[in-house]
Structure 1
Amino acid sequence: MTKLQLITSELIRHLEKLSGDAEEIHWMTAFTMKSGVRKVLPFLKAASNRGSSIKLLTGDYLYISQPEALELLLKELPEAEIRLWKSGGASFHPKAYLFRGREDNHHLIVGSSNLSKSALTSGVEWNLLAPSKADNQVFEEAEDQFLKLFYHESTISLNPETLAEYKENHREANRQRPFSMAWSAEEETEMMLGPGEAQEIAESGVDYETKPASAEPLQPRPAQQMALDALETTMEEEYDRAMVVLATGLGKTYLAAFFARKFKRVLFIAHREEILRQAQQSFLHVHQDKTSGFFNAAEKETEADFVFASVYTLGSRHNMERFKPDNFDLIVVDEFHHAAAPTYERVIEYFQPKFLLGITATPDRMDNKDVYAICDGNVAISIHFLEAIERGWLSPFRYYGVYDDTDYSQITWRGTRYDEEELLALQLREDFAQKIFQGYMEHRQTRTIVFCSSVRQATFMNDYFRRQGIRSMVLHGQTPAEERRKATDRLELGELEAIFTVDLFNEGVDIPKVDTLLFIRPTESLTVYTQQIGRGLRLADGKSHCVIIDFIGNYRNADVKLAVFDETGEYGEKRGRFAEPAVPEVCEFNLDLQVINLLKEMARKRVPRRDALIAAYFDLKRELGRRPEYLEFHLQADADSKAVKQEFGSYFGMLTYAGELSEEEMQVWERYKDWFIEVEKTEMNKSYKMVVLLYMLSRGPKHWTYPVAPEEVAPFFHRYLTEKEYRKKVDLDSKKGQGLIEYNESRISILIAEMPMTMWSGSEKADMVIFEENRFSIQLPQPSGEQVALLYDWTEQTANFRLHEHFERKMKKRKAGVQ
């Protein structure tokens, strides 16, 4: 079959046939019904059992998708990846079925059929079947667009936690508004306040795609040279991977290009086309004699010196295996896109470069804990934007916190964002627009980016500003790339005064002359907020400073957002909730008195640290679909895990406080509380205590507390501390430690006896930890039944966390000395 085919009935037969031959099955439907799931489950289960990769994306638009259908998919397809598009009330209507087969035998079906029995069998539906042999480029483009939507920040993983949340929202939505009424009301709103008409954009003389190459070899700027020096030290220390944190505007992509001078072939991975194209330009300005190409939906370059790859395209097993694992000497991973982290991990596990470099501009984004983990805890250098301003590398700012009297407490919170329809009802008001305009006119300079919470808000505000005589326009994610480039050119040239946007200028777009930022949306992500601030801090001729106009109301995170203007402490910690930041002398920080009172009141009403820890725990549990383990909480939760032992004594004490433990688990906590707190709090200048405990745990749940001699532990102890380079550098990088790198049972046994075993048994908890007659043991009340496994598991979780945290902390201190 090589021609397009129109399917007007019995789509189910085509889905079954194509699923039987597919290695990858990717479906996207606006609505999912139980009747449809029952029809497709038999052949989807067969494909899953055969090893096919299955990704299913459906939406919550109008809460039409049936919870029973989603529950059936979860239960019957445990190996499939299933995600839910959180529409926030905005239209979500795709219907597409993609099948990737062997030897480029792929098929794409697009049309009108959702996942319901009638749509798949006898309903009046039109669908078009396009084989890749008819047009492979269309299939590849569809695949790329599917993955972008699948891993979009508006999606969440479907799991028991998120399913329970959807069930509740579904019940509430259909209780308040009958199905037919909800549909007509929503569609009417969409038609009246939709994305708006296309705006005419004049041609300009700037073309960022074809900037001429410099005749003189480019040289690193000071921040980049500092980072290159730090990477040089890292390589001298025999690390093969590292992360670099450079504030927006310091040129992290050019840094990677300069670093690439040490390598022959480079793979640069990112999640957005704009980032890849700008990266290519940067690399070719530094390496004018190198070949380059893209590996994305449109192009599949595999032989160039520099390959710039979309993680969505490269993440496909079919595409990844076009390369050999050792094809590249250097791999550069740009900002992790959090939802797509598993895709990045698959790619990184597959390739075997000489060096892996992670680059990011936002050290506090939770994604970078994953980057940190894949870089073996090695942060070569970190430069905060406040330090860069003090050094004169970024523009100073004048911040104006303007009071927003909107009552956000009345708006429903949908887990990750406010209900869009309820939020719009408050935002799309003339009096609200007038207040924003007044604040803008009072503080603005010449070129402004306005950050909005939705396309409809951006359209409404743009219309209001244009009526007041401001030369402005709207840009958003669906605006064509060429149109976006022309608009940013016009802003750069001064032909436009303002661009209203929705999450478009977070990363990958540089307009140095922007000198005013206007925030008219609730701050939901401190990471995104940091990225957006960076859009105004680049240096430019004639630009003395950036004005930041920030409307602050009683929305979530309002009392913590100002922490982004605080440099982190020695180990990356923040000072806490609302405290007016100590910004550089060249900057100004101004808050309306009403804003100061509001933030203090918000901070007063909550127990900051405990509330933050518990909220972060439940957010992560929702994301994972299960209770996070302690190390997972440390690596992935939006919280400072050091506060756990300070506030609750132990992670499991926190779970007790959160009401998360069963009756049996509560008994274990009460009976062994002192032991868990001891493992959590025992002093550790070296990792040795926990390494001994880890060996004991290796003997299994029933025997781990039994006595052990130093000689028995020695092989495990030596192997653990020498198998990873960073462990050697942290705990064996001393005169005494150097003597342990080569295995010597007698010498290592003496060390184990003299240090971890003697020191721990001599602590305050000597009644639990005993070292007598050269035998080390842990004395605890004998557990029974389920308690055996729980006591073992919780001890192991705590030991693993403490070891990871120990090496992470020590490496940061070492790197602070390097910097």
Structure 2
Amino acid sequence: MSKVELIQRNLIEKIQEHIETSSTIYILTSFVMKSGVRLLKETLKKAAERGADIKICAGDYLFVTQPEALRELISIHPDIEVRLWRSRGVSFHPKAYLFENTTSGYFIVGSSNLSKSALTEGIEWNIGLDKTVDENVFAESMEEFLKLFYADETVQVNEETLKDYEKQYHDYHQRHPNLARTWAESEEVELMLPVDKAETEINERDHDVIYDPATVTYETIQPRFAQVEALERLEAAYEEGYDKAMVVMATGLGKTYLAAFFARNFQKALFIAHREEILRQAKKSFQRVMPNKTFGIYDGNVKEKKADIIFASIFTLSMKKHLEAFAKDAFDLIVIDEFHHAAARSYQRVLNYFQPKFLLGITATPDRNDNKDVYAICDGNVAYKIDFIEAVQRGWLAPFRYYGVYDDTDYSKIKWLGNRYDEAELLQVQLREEMADKILKAWEKYKKTRTLVFCSSIKQADFLSEYFRKRNYRTVSLHSKQTDTPRGKAIAMLEKGELDAIFTVDLFNEGVDIPSVDTLLFVRPTESLTVFTQQVGRGLRLYEGKDYCVIIDLIGNYRNADVKLKLFDTERNADKNGKREKVIPTVPDNCSLHLDIQAINLLEEMRKKRQPRKEKLLWDYKQLKQELGYRPTYLQLHLRGRSDAIEYKSEFKSYVGFLYWADELSEKEKEVFLKYESWLVEAERTPMAKSYKMVVLLAMLNRGPSRWHLPITPKEAAPFFHQYLMEKEYRKRIDFSDKKTKQLWIYDEEKVSKLIAEMPMTKWSGSSNGLLSFENGIFSLHFSIAKEDEEILYQWTKEICEYRLHVYFERKSKI
């Protein structure tokens, strides 16, 4: 077979040949047609059945991709992953087919989309390359595919996201009838539009050299500041028998060094991150802490397996081939950097595979403001937590002076696309000299010496940087498409005082530190509170001669403008007891916060007009439902929803009550809800000083849908009750370790039964408004359940029970 070949006809034959022999199959295409899916359907099905790793990414640009084609793709086999790139009007035109097995690889790139004409008789040019032509380029292609596949712009294709896409597809073609096409299987015409050349970073080439400690001149270092406290908590958790934990530390407190100090307790460790530069910085940190260990990088271009500590790219490691190159028990410790990403499917694949002695997640931003909750991944065990406000108060981060500058842009007139503003409409108001001049004047008034400017787009960064340069300031616009000044050089120039400011989009959110930065300028709407927190952290690192950091922030009527200031509030977690929320937060004593009077008036107005709570809960629920492809369980809502599940209970008395209000129940379910609402509310709201009520209820539920509601005695519940509380160390520590219950660690039926009778059964029956009773040693429901309602009510009760137990232990573990 030729190592490089031009394929002009019948690409289908080459694709099918490689599907049949490959264990990794990645397809990237700008659009997908039914005719193309049908050509590959049987071949893909057989590949999936034999366990091949199959991922297909298509685009929605101009809504050419047919909804029916996507539906047919996901119906082939449940193990085939299909994602849709949401282009939002930006051209998306890749066409690539990547294949790999244990001994070889093949890469096709060219003009053919996934349609019958493109794969058979259409006029197409495609180049096929054997992996041996350039293994570095091949590895880079695999890595770049996964970055696209799991990018924020993609969504998993399932029935829920398909409904949404289908609606947009039909709406678009109704609005653009001249662009609408009737796609016959025999004639499919590709829309060829220009695409911007994407910059790619060339990583270190693949080699076999592993770090040699003899060549390293680092001096070993010791824990300091928050690292001391966090390390003590981590080591205590490990000694107590925990196998998972999360540490939440503000940016600048040394999370990576903490992981390195903790790793001294283990022989073999794996450090996972989503960016190559984080891996290399982490490697240097670990080398300083453990100079006698060996270290290796494992990413798209470097495969250093034979080392004590391996630093791996999640995009490489999540490939089936690379994951299975390691034994499941290859590592004693696994560290996940930026742990708030860990709920993503790529991380879940890795975490489900490995069996370490301990899993450590480290992050600065675990909150569910923008991200899926990650507490469940570490069994709710937060070993240590300190945010940037507390760190500033304790002198571990630099103080700040915040200046809120009024922005008169009316963002309510700019289209909101679910998680960001429409870039084209946003640029119309941003790329104005009047706006640029206002930004410049605010910066000149408050700035110190070295500034990072956070912009919302490359065009805005370029525009403002040029505007500042024309006013004799030394600036550079630094982003993924900038080639004139390398990132490293720009950072060095800023540190030396040779630049006044770096304008950037998102390069400095995670993993890049410039401690000398003393001014932050935000000229973008705060769409993500997580990103805003990360960016604030870029200016708070301690540095010789830096007495405080200036934060200059444009305040307009954009989303989250009235919420983000809470991040600076020392009283944000205090019990307000119904008191009205303040617009101006209470900042640490060594800090200050100043707002333009117009900004104060705007925030007051926004607080009054805040999005109705019920509508926000509905929006967040629908987002999660789309992500999952089905109606989330109560626990899934808590673990992965954007709003706290407790808000649903507070607003609607029960999760099922919310589903009823949102018209998410079938007619039969609505009927069942109305008949048994009082029981569902009772199960949701009964107070829990300990977990015992729900453990007894779970013991009842374990008898199955037709028997769960039958009476139960303390003696019948005792074996399950004891086993449940003893099988997890954290449950035993929280609810089974006081003076009385410690005696029950060795099972004693009579004593456990007595505890159950005295506590959950007697107490719950007395507070249940007649719904439960405990008489003559029998605990029972005081209402009847129709046979035809059993299954539905059983499932709902079980969801409530599992949710409440999880939340109870999660909350208690943080106290």
TM surpasses 0.5: yes
Residues 313-352 of structure 1: CA deviation (Å, up to 9, x unaligned): 1122221222222222221111136486222223223222
Residues 622-662 of structure 1: CA deviation (Å, up to 9, x unaligned): 22222211111111112222333222211112222333223
Distance in 1, matches of 2:30 and 2:442, equals 40
1:117 corresponds to: 116
Contact 1:59 1:85 in 2 (8 A): yes
1:98 corresponds to: 98
Matched, 1:579 2:576: no
Contact 2:271 2:311 in 1 (8 A): yes
2:206 corresponds to: none
2:275 corresponds to: 272
Contact 1:578 1:599 in 2 (8 A): no
Aligned-partner residue type, residue 713 of structure 2? A
Distance in 2, matches of 1:771 and 1:263, equals 51
Distance in 2, matches of 1:104 and 1:719, equals 49
Contact 1:195 1:456 in 2 (8 A): no
RMSD, aligned CA: 2.9
1:438-453 map, 5 Å: 438-453=441-456
1:85 corresponds to: 85
2:72 corresponds to: 72
1:433 corresponds to: 436
Give the 3 Å change call, closer, same or farther, for CA 463–605 of structure 1 in structure 2.
same
Residues 704-763 of structure 1: CA deviation (Å, up to 9, x unaligned): 101122222111111111111111001111111111211222221121122111211122
Residues 663-698 of structure 1: CA deviation (Å, up to 9, x unaligned): 322222211111011001112111111111111111
Distance in 2, matches of 1:299 and 1:162, equals 36
1:370-519 map, 5 Å: 370-479=373-482, 483-519=486-522
Q: Give ranges in structure 2 of 5+ residues lacking alignment.
A: 182-188, 202-212
Query: Percent of pairs identical after alignment?
Result: 54
Distance in 2, matches of 1:337 and 1:795, equals 30
Distance in 2, matches of 1:340 and 1:139, equals 28
Aligned-partner residue type, residue 673 of structure 1? E
Secondary structure in structure 2 of the residue aligned to 1:735: coil
Give the 3 Å change call, closer, same or farther, for CA 589–456 of structure 1 in structure 2.
same
1:204 corresponds to: none
Matched, 1:640 2:659: no
Contact 1:407 1:554 in 2 (8 A): yes
Contact 2:53 2:320 in 1 (8 A): no
CA drift at 1:224? 0.9
Give the 3 Å change call, closer, same or farther, for CA 469–397 of structure 1 in structure 2.
same
Contact 1:563 1:577 in 2 (8 A): no
Residues 472-520 of structure 1: CA deviation (Å, up to 9, x unaligned): 2222235579922222111222222222212111100001111111212
Distance in 2, matches of 1:96 and 1:607, equals 43
Aligned-partner residue type, residue 808 of structure 1? E
Distance in 2, matches of 1:186 and 1:412, equals 27
1:6 corresponds to: 6
2:784 corresponds to: 781
2:27 corresponds to: 27
Number of residue pairs the alignment of both structures matches: 794
CA drift at 1:465? 2.2
2:740 corresponds to: 736
Give the 3 Å change call, closer, same or farther, for CA 306–384 of structure 1 in structure 2.
same
Contact 1:248 1:531 in 2 (8 A): yes
For residue 353 of structure 1, the aligned residue among 356, 365, 369 is 356
Residues 153-199 of structure 1: CA deviation (Å, up to 9, x unaligned): 222222223222223333344444466699999969x88xx999x9x
Secondary structure in structure 2 of the residue aligned to 1:262: coil
Matched, 1:657 2:661: yes
Secondary structure in structure 2 of the residue aligned to 1:35: helix
1:799 corresponds to: 801
1:161 corresponds to: 160
Residues 123-150 of structure 1: CA deviation (Å, up to 9, x unaligned): 2222121222443333222111111111
Contact 2:694 2:804 in 1 (8 A): yes
Secondary structure in structure 2 of the residue aligned to 1:551: strand
Aligned-partner residue type, residue 297 of structure 1? G
Distance in 1, matches of 2:669 and 2:34, equals 36
1:692 corresponds to: 696
Q: Give ranges in structure 1 of 5+ residues lacking alignment.
A: 199-209, 814-819
1:598-747 map, 5 Å: 598-606=602-610, 609-747=613-751
Secondary structure in structure 1 of the residue aligned to 2:453: strand
Residues 223-261 of structure 1: CA deviation (Å, up to 9, x unaligned): 111111221222232222211111000010011111122
Secondary structure in structure 2 of the residue aligned to 1:268: strand
1:364 corresponds to: 367
Contact 2:150 2:346 in 1 (8 A): no
Distance in 2, matches of 1:318 and 1:694, equals 41
Distance in 1, matches of 2:669 and 2:286, equals 55
Distance in 1, matches of 2:599 and 2:552, equals 13
1:257-268 map, 5 Å: 257-268=260-271
CA drift at 1:526? 0.8
1:207 corresponds to: none
Distance in 2, matches of 1:303 and 1:224, equals 29
Secondary structure in structure 1 of the residue aligned to 2:795: helix
Contact 1:370 1:636 in 2 (8 A): yes
Give the 3 Å change call, closer, same or farther, for CA 482–231 of structure 1 in structure 2.
farther
Aligned-partner residue type, residue 68 of structure 1? E
Aligned-partner residue type, residue 812 of structure 2? K
TM-score (norm 2): 0.92
Contact 1:367 1:636 in 2 (8 A): no
Distance in 2, matches of 1:311 and 1:573, equals 44
Secondary structure in structure 1 of the residue aligned to 2:424: helix
Distance in 2, matches of 1:607 and 1:145, equals 39
Aligned-partner residue type, residue 39 of structure 1? L
1:817 corresponds to: none
Aligned-partner residue type, residue 137 of structure 2? V
Aligned-partner residue type, residue 565 of structure 2? L
Distance in 2, matches of 1:39 and 1:602, equals 54
TM-score (norm 1): 0.91
2:311 corresponds to: 308
Contact 1:2 1:133 in 2 (8 A): no
